[in-house]
Amino acid sequence: MQLGEKIGRLAQPNMVIALSGDLGAGKTVLTKGLGRGLGITATINSPTFTIMKIYQGRMPLYHMDVYRINQASQDDDLEEYFEKDGLCVIEWADNIDYLLPKSRLQIDIAIIGDHQRSLEISAEDPEYQDIIERIK
For the stretch 72-115, pLDDT in tens is: 766 667 889 999 999 999 999 999 998 999 999 999 999 999 98
Alpha-carbon Rg for the chain, nearest whole angstrom, is 14
115-134: buried (b, 16+ CB within 10 Å) or exposed (e) per residue? eeeeeebebeeeebeebeee
pLDDT tens track for 28-83: 999 999 999 999 999 999 887 888 999 999 999 999 999 988 777 666 678 899 99
